[in-house]
Amino acid sequence: MFFRKPAPTGAVDFIIVGLGNPGKKYEGTRHNAGFMVLETIADTTGTRVNRAKFKSLCGEAVIGGKKVLLLMPQTFMNHSGEAVREALAFYKLPPERCLIVCDDITLPVGTIRIRRKGSDGGQRGVRSIITLCGSEQFPRIKVGVGQKPHPDYDLAAWVLSRFPESDKVPMRDAVKHAADAAELIVQDSIEAAMNRFSK
């Protein structure tokens, strides 16, 4: 569990990036699973993610005694790398200290998968980050939002659709598990997070 503590002095130790699209129009859509997780982390740590910087909304949390920047890019999904590149450069952090949380249409609703690094897997926000930052070394939490109903279904329409009632409980659980996994990853316990939560 997270514990609320006064913000420590010193520089940011870690960045958690939740991917999504800004604006009321996109709230609750499959593509905004990363935003959902980040908002859960913010709520649990008592952090306001409302400061405009790095083409994002951001706020500083304390997780496991570390100062962590919570980042919600406002660039729209396909340009997420612009925000991440600026934040990494400002804090002089390597990609290994920047956790990306995003949706994954290849995973069943309610599951999460954790990776130390790797390719974008077809997720365009992650692709933008890898391209603009020049590295695949970002740890990531992928939240399953379900596959398209059939191969011909429009991908954009699917990821921008909302969850039916039947998916809301498993999604709520997945978002909480992803937030708990993020806490472990920040504390250099990615192996424990993978063993406990990754499917």
Identify the bridge partners of residue 148 per DSSP, sorted by sequence position: none
Distance separating alpha carbons of residues 37 and 70, to the nearest angstrom: 11
What is the b/e burial string over 166-187, where b = at least 16 CB atoms within 10 angstroms of the residue's CB? ebeebbeebbebbbbbbbbbbe
Give the number of other CB atoms < 10 A from CB of residue 127.
Answer: 17
For residue 15, the cross-strand partners are 69, 98
Query: Is residue 31 annotated as a catalytic residue, yes or no?
Result: yes
User: Concatenated DSSP letters for 60-108?
Assistant: EEEETTEEEEEEEE-S-GGGHHHHHHHHHHHHT--GGGEEEEEEETTSP
User: Which residue among 31, 79, 150, 177 is the active-site one?
Assistant: 31
Q: How far apart are CA 110 and CA 43, in angstroms?
A: 20
Q: Which residues are catalytic?
A: 31
